[in-house]
Structure 1
Amino acid sequence: MSHHGHELAEGAAAESVAAGYELADVRARPLWISIAVIFALLAFAYVVITVLVFAVGEPLRDPTYAVDVTSPQVPVGPLVEANPNVDGRRIVNEATEHLESYGWVSQRQGIVHIPIERSMELLLEQGVNPFGQ
């Protein structure tokens, strides 16, 4: 006959079985021992890391990546604009002009940009060759 875990376990109190749940409290000693072991391991790890850091004797950071805090730092990117509507229109006009014109991307490599409408026409005429053959 197979064991399904429904039988009365050894040491289970008859009152607990009758109530349908454990009436006795959890033993606190194993819980406190586990907590003490965890804190002891944390303290030990802290001591080991501290000893290793002082044993190495040099900073763990690479100073080549340190920021020079003495020089004034100017924020990069877009700054506060005096008139955002005018600047926004200028940006849109420049982008539209670029998208609707011909020009060199890299003259040395022979790469150009063409208007979007013309590129769509060329794609319809020539098709797409994904492998560039």
Structure 2
Amino acid sequence: MDEATRFETRDTPPWLFPLLGGLAAGLIGIVVVSLLLIFPDAAKDQNHALTTPMPEPRLQTDPAADLKRYKAEAMERLTGYGWADREHGIAHIPIDEAMHRVAERGIADWPAGARREGQ
């Protein structure tokens, strides 16, 4: 061995790595054992599935009739007269008539130049 070659004199002692590994393994073992003691049922294989089937929700008994009734009510409102707010004197008119009135008279408080720009 050459005297000019130097070695690190402050090296980690070889017994430190097995000691740290043993401490880590011991700590993991303590955690596992303590969790098994705290939660004893966690390691058991239990079936948590429902034993009886859930009833399906019956939100609509006749969806086709409900849709037909909804469309009829919507068309009645679009094509008929009625009150939107009776207390304030606001009524609704058929949509065809409303479109004719807007085409003839325009919209109140609408800028005059805006109609020409949109065309």
TM over 0.5: no
TM-score by length of 2: 0.41
TM-score by length of 1: 0.37
More contact order relative to length (CA 8 Å, sep ≥ 6)? 2
